[in-house]
Amino acid sequence: MIRAMLRGKKIGYYSVGIGALNQLSRKLKTMALINLSSYVGLRDDTSFKQASQYTFFNKKKVERMEEAANKSTMTLVESRQRQRLNQDNKKSLLLAWRNLRAYSKDTT
C-alpha cells in the first residue's frame, strides 16, 4: 500500500474492520494507513470509533457502512462508484482479501 501511495495512487479501504491492536507498531501502522488513504469504510461501530480517533486529516473520509457480505457486493460497488471512484481513471486496481475462518464470530 505504501508503495502505491508513493507513486501517487489513491488507496481506499471498503467494508473493513479493525481488530485488536495490542502492539504499538500495529497501532502506528494502522494510524498511518488510515491517514494516508483516500477513503475508509468500516463495517462495525467499534472499528468506526477507533478509526475516527486515529484520523487526523479529513475525518469525512471515514464512514460507517454495512458489512459487504450482508449485501450483494456488486450492488454495493455500483452504488459507491458514483460517489467515490473517478470514472476517468481507467488504470485502477482493486485488491480484496478476507479471512473467513472466524467470520461468524467477528462480524455484526
pLDDT of residue 97: 60
* pTM reported for the whole predicted model: 0.64
Q: DSSP letter for 38, please.
A: S
Closest to 64 in 3D by CA, of 9, 11, 14, 25: 14
Per-residue confidence at 98, pLDDT binned at 50, 70, 90? low
CA distance 63 to 77: 15
pLDDT of residue 55: 93
pLDDT of residue 108: 47
pLDDT at position 86 over 60: no
SS3 14: strand
Q: What is the pLDDT of residues 39-81, one digit of tens each?
A: 999 989 999 999 999 999 888 999 998 776 665 555 655 665 5
Beta-bridge partners for 39: 12
Q: What is the pLDDT of residues 6-27, one digit of tens each?
A: 888 888 888 888 988 899 999 9
- 104 compared with 12, residue with greater pLDDT: 12
SS3 42: strand
